[in-house]
Amino acid sequence: MEEAPRLDPVITMACDNCGSNMAYDAKRQLMLCPSCQSTKEPPKAQDMVIEKDFNSALALDDAPKGMGTAMKSYHCENCGANTMVDPSTVGFSCSFCGSSKVNEAAYAEKVIKPAGILPFAYPKDKALEAFKTWVGKGLFVPNDLAKRARLAKIDGVYVPFWTYDAETESYWTAEAGYYYYETEYFTDNNGQRQSRQVRKTRWVPANGYYAHNFDDVLVVASGGVKQNMMERINNYNLGKVVNYDAQYMIGWMSEVYAKDVKQGFEVADKIMNDFIRTECGRQVPGDTYRNLDIHTRKDGITFKHILLPLWIAAYQYGDSSFQFLINGETGKIAGDKPTSWIKVTIAILLVLAIIATLVWYFKFRK
């Protein structure tokens, strides 16, 4: 028998003063009543932001599911992001790519509930101003970009992340290379005998041990934002992550993770292995090394699911979509822009013309 979809009640928070619905305000970092401007402190406890055991399948099944409040979810056919919005939202377009090819999707109640959330602290008016300043800059940007980008909206979205911890022990073997120099003799073009120093390497077997505890390796679980884009603005203070509370979602959007906890770990595993390889390489004595072979044991792997705040202005230009991102806590920005190939071509032609003129001038001035 099919399980009937269960919707948690929509969370609202009535103002004590006038009864209107309050929403979380990024500027004041408080719950704010839009009618009478009353404020209320949101919960700030951190005791539930704890890691869960990754290897125990039970922990995954036991992990609390859902977002604790009813939200409507939309699936974007263009970029694949699944966005959760307030149930009253109509005429939704994708915040991650600007596309309006979105379908209403089933409420994702099987998703693991976030353990923590970093509330928005960077306000919308500042985010919008930063976007407008940024969009007009750049020599090779199409002229109509600023005009088109003006139509783009800027959305505050809580983006899903996984963080992983692991205790690791690695044993490595390698060949350590020591440089030495030998004198070589040769005859130059004038028939003179000459000598030169040539660098050689002596290879010696080496081995060692490296232990490291990883804490909070951060992996983007988003379908709409790429890991490399996110790394450009990733200066979040994870120490400020508080217990997830549905109150923070009032008036805000959130994305459902596209990478699950196991797919996220594949990314984290690679980040950890790359780090270990670099550190073991550093331990190899001598001037250089080769055939570095590492055997790593990872224990006590734990994870947690957290939501981090992000301002996104997504716009379509031609057939492509472009993103401008602002860290919703610190205000750090990153974005990509289309290139005007006409402007680039004109610039290249101009440079060529200058070179041709200079060549002509120096050749014929006498």
Structure tokens, 304: 């947690």
Smallest distance, Å, CB 49 to Zn ion?
29
Site for Zn ion in 81-110 (CB under 5 A): 81, 94, 96-97, 99
| 38 forms part of the interface with Zn ion (CB under 5 A) | yes
CA dist., res. 276 & res. 134, Å (int): 38
Smallest distance, Å, CB 324 to Zn ion?
14
Place of tokens 């979809």: 5
Place of tokens 């930063």: 130
CA dist., res. 4 & res. 296, Å (int): 45
Q: Residue 127: what are its φ and ψ, rounded to 5°?
A: -65, -40
What mask, x for binding Zn ion by CB under 5 A, covers residues 114 to 133? --------------------
Contact segment (CB under 5 A) with Zn ion among 25-33, 136-144, 145-153, 166-174 equals 25-33
CA dist., res. 346 & res. 343, Å (int): 5
Beta-strand ranges (E) seen in the chain are 23-25, 30-32, 39-40, 52-53, 72-76, 82-85, 102-105, 116-117, 154-187, 193-220, 242-243, 253-256, 288-317, 320-327, 333-335
Smallest distance, Å, CB 181 to Zn ion?
60
Sign of CA dihedral 337, 328, 34, 254: positive
| 18 forms part of the interface with Zn ion (CB under 5 A) | yes
Q: For residue 74, what is the enclosing H or E element?
A: strand 72-76
Closest among 28, 48, 52 to 38, alpha carbons compared = 28
Site for Zn ion in 330-359 (CB under 5 A): none
Nearer to Zn ion, 42 or 66 (CB): 42
Give the count of residues interacting with Zn ion (CB under 5 A): 16
| 312 forms part of the interface with Zn ion (CB under 5 A) | no
Contact segment (CB under 5 A) with Zn ion among 5-13, 29-37, 180-188, 268-276 equals 29-37
Q: Which residues contact 318 (CB under 8 A, 6 or more apart)?
A: 338
| 32 forms part of the interface with Zn ion (CB under 5 A) | no
Indicate which single residue of 21, 39, 78, 273 sits in contact with Zn ion (rule: CB under 5 A).
78
Structure tokens, 126: 């500042």
Indicate which single residue of 10, 11, 13, 36 sits in contact with Zn ion (rule: CB under 5 A).
36
Nearer to Zn ion, 29 or 38 (CB): 38
| 76 forms part of the interface with Zn ion (CB under 5 A) | yes
Contact segment (CB under 5 A) with Zn ion among 76-84, 123-131, 225-233, 334-342 equals 76-84
Which chain residues interact with Zn ion by CB under 5 A?
A: 15, 17-18, 20, 33, 35-36, 38, 76, 78-79, 81, 94, 96-97, 99
